[in-house]
Amino acid sequence: MVDLELVRRVADAAEEVDGAAPLDEATWLALRNRPDSVRSWVREDGFALLVGEDLSLVVHPSARGRGVGAALAVEAVPASGPVEAWSHGDHPAARALAARRGFERARELWVMRRPSSVPLPPLPERDGVLVRGYEADDAEDVVRVNAAAFAAHPEQGAMDLANLRERMAESWFDPAGLLVAVDSSSDEVLGFHWTKQHSSALGEVYVVGISPAAQGRGLGKLLTLAGLHHLIGKGVDEVLLYVESDNAPAIAVYSGLGFEHAASDTHVQYRRR
């Protein structure tokens, strides 16, 4: 069994020094809900976790520069086969370790941020489209739209009903913050914007998914803007989001809504094929 308290202590210490959380939500969900699916190497000065092909390796700041990361990699990285690992914040030590272990830089995920002090444009209307809060019988439609919208996305596109319910069981979940766009005549779900409030000061554009059949109707911008109005109405000081660095259309939409990206706000995925 994974020592969750020790993992959290090391992760919290790393986040305090690095400014980025070293474990993503999917890993925490697996640790809490499916611990048998996680292989672990945990000690006071660091830990490695392997969930399928996804590796997380974190060294306590007080133990860095002593070969702890290299030793954990020897234990945790399988001798062969594909492995993926994220460096949250593009840490130089992670870059060096990845090169030594034969991992290639495969993806970049940007964090973009927007202060709430920047005025928001008013929420426009779209003929034939209603934006409302999530209702209990929307679950299958949200999963359907998500699967179609993120068919090429290796993490988000895999969400099923069980995973949806896991996320909804988290303490931050607010049905009013999961906005869905429906066709006014048929009530068909066309897209959704799932917002997330981390704290009283910080909100997130968590997931925006548009059905491919509804593309070209301006729903991405409409739903993003609706979610921003919701979060700012809750009093947050800042809203962040994650976007693939090569997703130019999405970056253009977010930039037009006041989001900016700093080079230090870059997460990198390394991959061994």
Nearest to 72 by CA among 62, 80, 64: 64
Looking at residue 153, its pLDDT comes to 81
* pLDDT given for residue 144 in this prediction: 97
Say yes or no to pLDDT of 37 above 80: yes
- Residue pair 45/62 in contact (Cβ under 8 Å)? The answer is yes
pLDDT level of residue 13 (50, 70, 90 thresholds): very high
What would the mean pLDDT of 18-33 be, rounded to a whole number?
94
Percent of the chain with pLDDT over 90: 88
The pLDDT, as a whole number, for residue 156 is 87
Report strand pairing: 46-51 vs 54-59: antiparallel
- Look at the domain 119-257 and name its fold: Aminopeptidase (3.40.630)
Q: Which two tokens stand for residue 33?
A: 């809900």
pTM: 0.88
pLDDT digits (tens, 9 = 90+) for 133-177: 999 999 999 999 999 999 888 778 889 999 999 999 999 999 999
Q: What is the mean pLDDT of residues 47-61?
A: 97
Q: Is domain 4-110 classified as CATH 3.40.50.970?
A: no
Domain with CATH 3.40.630.30 in the chain: 4-110, 119-257
* Contact (Cβ atoms closer than 8 angstroms) between residue 201 and residue 237: yes
Mean pLDDT of 239-265: 93
Q: Where are the beta strands (DSSP E) in the chain?
A: 38-43, 46-51, 54-59, 83-87, 104-115, 129-133, 178-183, 189-197, 202-210, 238-244, 260-272
Torsions phi, psi for 110 (to 5 deg): -90, 140
pLDDT at position 253:
87
- Section 81-87 average pLDDT: 95
Q: Does the structure show a pLDDT above 80 at 251?
A: yes
Mean pLDDT of 22-36: 94
Residue 106 clears pLDDT 90, i.e. is over it: yes
Residue 90 has pLDDT above 80, yes or no: yes
Contact between 38 and 51 (Cβ < 8 Å): yes
